[in-house]
Amino acid sequence: MPSWAFDYLVLPLGIYLARMTDVSIGTLRIILISRERKMIAAMLGFFEVLLWLIVITQIMRNLSNALCYIAYAGGFATGTFLGMFIEEKLAIGHSLIRIIVPEKGEEISENLIQAGYRTTSLEAQGARGPVKVILSVLRRRDIPIVLGILKQTAPGAFYTIENARKTSDPELWKGGEGEAESFARILWRRQSRIRK
C-alpha cells in the first residue's frame, strides 16, 4: 500500500471510526450514569478512554495531516448522534406517564390495568373543570404500547412523559410469565446488593 493511501485514506478513516465508537460509548455511559447503572457505566468508561488514547496518539503523530482533524471532528459528531440513537433503541430505565383527561379516565385506567400496567388515579381541577389524572410508572420500552392504548381510548388526551431515575419496586423489571430473566433484572439485583 502506498504511503499516501495510508496517510490520506486509511488513517483518517480509522480515526473517524474509532472516534465515532468512543463518543457513542461515552454518550451511552453518561445516560447510564443518569439512570444509576454504575457498573456498566464504569466498564464503558474504560473502553471509551482506551479508544480515545489510541485516537489522540495517532493525531499527535500526524499533526500536519488536516484530514485527521476533520475525521476526528466528524467522528465526534457522528458518535454523539449514534450514541443517542442506540440509547433510544435500548430504552433503558423507567418513565412516568401522566395522563390528564376530562372524561374517559376510568376507561383509560381499566385498559391500562388489563394490559398489565399499574395506575394511580386522582381527581383534580383543571382550567376548564374537573379532570382525572392517571399516573403510571413503566419501562421505557413499553411507552409505545401505552400510547397506543391511550390513542384508542381517548385520542385527544393530554399526557406528559418523564424519566423516573429510580423505583423502589423491583417487580417493575419482571417480564411476562415464562419469560427468561432479563439482563436488566440481573443488573438491578447486583446493584441492589452493592447499595446495601
Within 8 A by CB and 6+ apart from 149, the residues are 108, 111, 112, 115
Domain CATH number, residue 180: 3.30.70.120
User: What percentage of the chain reaches a pLDDT higher than 70?
Assistant: 86
In a shared domain, residues 131 and 176: yes
What's phi and psi for 86, nearest 5 deg?
-65, -45
The answer to whether the CB of 100 falls within 8 A of the CB of 131 is: yes
For residue 52, what are the domain limits? 3-90
- Entry field: residues in the chain: 196
Q: Which of 90, 117, 145 is the last residue of a domain?
A: 90
Q: Which of 90, 105, 133 is the last residue of a domain?
A: 90
Say how far apart CA 98 and CA 133 lie, in whole Å.
7
- Kindly state the average pLDDT of the residues 132-147: 92
Positive or negative, the CA dihedral 8, 9, 14, 17 is positive
In a shared domain, residues 117 and 67: no
Grid cell of 193 as nine digits: 446488593
Say how far apart CA 28 and CA 37 lie, in whole Å.
11
In a shared domain, residues 86 and 144: no
In a shared domain, residues 164 and 185: yes
Within 8 A by CB and 6+ apart from 17, the residues are 75
In a shared domain, residues 9 and 55: yes
Write the pLDDT tens digit of every residue in 6-42: 878 899 999 999 999 999 999 889 888 887 788 989 9
In a shared domain, residues 123 and 159: yes
Q: Determine if the pTM surpasses 0.95.
A: no
Q: Which of 67, 90, 113 is the last residue of a domain?
A: 90
Considering its fold, how many domains does the chain have in total? 2
Query: Quick one: pLDDT at residue 6?
Result: 80
In a shared domain, residues 43 and 77: yes
Across 71-166, the runs of DSSP E, i.e. the strands, are 94-101, 120-126, 129-139, 158-164
Say how far apart CA 111 and CA 127 lie, in whole Å.
26
pLDDT band at residue 94 using 50, 70 and 90 as cut-offs: confident
In a shared domain, residues 99 and 142: yes
In a shared domain, residues 61 and 44: yes
